[in-house]
Amino acid sequence: MNRRDLFKYTGAAAALGMLSPARKLVAAESTAPKRLVMVLAQGGWDVTYALDPKVQNVRCDVPVGAIRRFGNLDIFTDASRPNVTAFFTKYAGVSAVVRGISVSSVAHQECLKRMSTGTRSEVNPDMAAIVAHDNGNALPLPYLILGDTAYTGQFAGSAGRVGSTNQIIALLDPAQAYQTNGRAPLATTNPEDAILQKYANATADRMKATRGALGYNRKRVDDFVESIRRGKALQGVRAGFGARGRVLSLTNQVELALDALEQDISQSVMLNTRLGWDTHDANTDQAGFHETTFAGLTLLLDGLAARPGRQTGTTMLDDTIVVCYSEFSRTPKLNAVMGKDHWPVTSALVMGAGVKGGRGYGATNEAVEAETVDFATGARSATGMTLMSNHFCAGVLKAAGIDPIAHLGPTEVFSAFVA
């Protein structure tokens, strides 16, 4: 527990009081609890390749292609990027593009924090960690981290990683465990596990009667007990994790994510495109990266739409929000080596449940500079506000059925895209 955490628990109420009466309604307006899948295009994507279409002008270099409308949603496409076109042809109706998000930095790590957590501290949880904790903390592994970058903050006890070569399966499946000293690993039986759990609980009770009675220590004891239960539950669903040594491409991550969500192993999943988005030279590489990413998104949404939801007659797409984002965008103009550098205004794609899809929200000008917007409608407005990363994250949390103020403090909520 640090001061930021303390704020979360003691300051949220005060923060609510600082807001205008209309904004006090935010908590009450939060929608039904959702799952959340985050797809991180780490390194900085060029939004002119799809999400924030521009016409070539003196202040902005755009790739090959043209602006195409998918209903009310304008996207930059080209025949050479068929996966982008295919995705929006199929899923524009459930997709909201949020443009003109300012991150106020052009440093990778800083912007990753800001876009992921809505804050400026790496000790705060990202959106997926919050959703996992608040909406699904009873699951075996509420927050499944399949990508590389993620922020778990005070909800670290609810999160877990699979490892760069999916080595988590070595912990779950004795048949895939490592041999050491030429011996097969010692596996305990279910009765032995029950005995071990009982012993752990006895220790926890002793700790709670003494050093672990209160506060930070108490949380560590509680996490300890809960982690054993979760570990055991994970072993019960190990079939969903595949083989050790598996390289986690985006496609593989999508498959694991769908299984983990469908089997109620996890409430949130963090994926990573694992592509070299940081195109300081050869910015045309962005074309291929977009193709790979939108192929993955199509696979993800196809899977969500094909699997049963939590209510009869629904699909997982009715329960799940998907956010595809990057920490920042790239400069409007090409540099001397035909690359693009870091740009502090970006876009994000929000899909699925709780999202008013089929249109764009927020705005940028011809040089990808953020314009002020009306937070109620998402439309460009001279009297509006600049859309910041914290506003965007607050909107996603609200769409997931979570009170954003409780986690982010006195933050305006950009909820125009929330159904």
Partner 1 sequence: MRFLALTLCLTACASDIRQSGDDDDQQDPDEVSPTAVYLTPPQHLTRISLALRGMRPALDDLHAVEADPAVLPSIVDRYLDSPAFAETIKELHNETLLMRIEVPQFTYPAIGPLAGKTARELNTGKFDEPLRLIEDIVMTDQPYTKIVTADYTMTNDVTAAMWGMTHTGAPEAWTRSALPDARPKLGILSSNALYDRWRSAGFNFNRGRANMISRVLLCHDYLTSDIMVDTNVDLADPDVVANAVIANKSCAGCHQTLDPLASYLFTYRNQLGPVAVDAYPVTYYSPATANRWMTANKRPPMFFGVSTGNMQGLGQAIADDPRFAKCAATRFASYFTEVAQTEVSGAWVARLQKALVDSNWNAKELAKAVMLSDEFRVSHDTDAEVAERTVGALKLRPEQLHRMIRDLTGFNWSTTATSNLRGIPYGTANLLESDFIGFRVLAGGIDSYFVTDYVHTMNATSSLVAKSAAAAAADFVVERDLIAAVADRTLFREAGVNDTDPNLIRAQLAYLHARIYGELVAPDSPEVDDTLVLYEEAFAASNNRARAWKVTLIGMLSNFRALFY
* Binding positions for partner 1, 341-370, rule CB under 8 A: 341-345, 367, 369-370
Beta bridge partners of 66: 77
* Pairing of the two strands 345-352 and 320-325: antiparallel
Is the alpha carbon torsion for 12, 16, 109, 40 positive or negative?
A: positive
Binders in 213-232 for partner 1, by CB under 8 A: 213-221, 223-224, 226-228, 230-231
Looking only at residues 54 through 113 of this chain, which bind partner 1 when binding is defined by CB under 8 A?
104-110
Give me the least distance between CB of 258 and partner 1, in Å please. Answer: 19
Q: Which is nearer to partner 1, 398 or 407 (CB)?
A: 407
Q: Is 361 helix (H, G, I), strand (E, B) or coil?
A: strand
User: Alpha carbon of 335 to those of 61, 279, 332: distances in Å?
Assistant: 10, 11, 9
From 82-90, 286-294, 329-337, 397-405, span contacting partner 1 (CB under 8 A): 329-337
Tell me whether residue 31 or residue 165 sits nearer to partner 1 (CB atom): 165
Least distance in angstroms from the C-beta of 402 to partner 1: 20
**Residue among 34 and 244 whose Cβ is closer to partner 1:** 244
Judged by CB under 8 A, does residue 408 bind partner 1? no
Q: Would you say 398 and 26 are in contact if contact means Cβ atoms under 8 Å apart?
A: yes
Residues in region 15-44 near partner 1 by CB under 8 A: 42-44
What is the C-alpha separation between 277 and 283, in angstroms, rounded? 9
Angle between helices 250-262 and 285-306 in degrees, nearest 10: 20
> 271 in helix, strand or coil?
strand
Q: How far is the CB of 86 from partner 1 (least distance, A)?
A: 26
How many residues make up the chain in this entry? 419
CB of 304 to partner 1, least distance (A): 24
CB of residue 278 vs partner 1: minimum separation in angstroms? 4
- Residues numbered 156-185 forming contacts with partner 1, rule: CB under 8 A: 156-165, 167-168, 170-172, 177-181, 183, 185
Interface mask toward partner 1 for 194-213; x: CB under 8 A:
-xx-xxx-xxx-xx--xxxx
Distance CA 128, CA 60 (A): 34
One-letter amino acid of 299 = L
Which residues is 308 bridged to in the sheet?
315
- Indicate the residue among 152 and 415 with the shorter CB distance to partner 1: 152
Instruction: Give the side-chain half-sphere CA count within 13 A for 371.
Output: 18
Query: Which spans in 210-262 are helix H?
Result: 215-236, 250-262
Q: How far is the CB of 93 from partner 1 (least distance, A)?
A: 32
Report the residue number, 93 or 174, with the smaller CB distance to partner 1. Answer: 174
Q: How far is the CB of 351 from partner 1 (least distance, A)?
A: 24
Q: How far is the CB of 88 from partner 1 (least distance, A)?
A: 26
Near partner 1 by CB under 8 A: residue from 53, 242, 332, 384: 332
Cβ atoms within 10 Å of 322's Cβ, excluding its own: 26
Q: Which is nearer to partner 1, 203 or 377 (CB)?
A: 203
Question: By C-beta, is 42 or 298 nearer to partner 1?
Answer: 42
H/E stretch holding 297 = helix 285-306
| H or E, element range at 100 | strand 95-102
Return the structure tokens found at 317: 């797409």
Q: By C-beta, is 85 or 326 nearer to partner 1?
A: 326
Inter-residue contact 388 to 328 (CB < 8 Å): no
Judged by beta carbon, residue 337 or residue 382, the one nearer partner 1 is: 337
Binding residues for partner 1, rule CB under 8 A, total: 105
Identify which range of 5-13, 15-23, 255-263, 387-395 contacts partner 1 by CB under 8 A: 5-13
Compose the 283-322 pattern: x for residues touching partner 1 by CB under 8 A, - for all others: ----------------------------------------
CA distances from residue 74 to 66, 166, 177, 295, 357 in whole angstroms, order as listed: 10, 38, 50, 19, 12
Least Cβ distance, residue 29 to partner 1 (angstroms): 30
Helix (H) or strand (E) holding 70: strand 66-70
Residue 281: what residue type?
D
Please check whether residue 172 is in contact with residue 187, taking contact to mean a CB–CB distance below 8 angstroms.
Answer: no
Q: How far apart are CA 252 and CA 165, in angstroms?
A: 12
**18, 245, 314, 385: which one binds partner 1 (CB under 8 A):** 245
Nearer CB in complex with partner 1: 21/215:
215
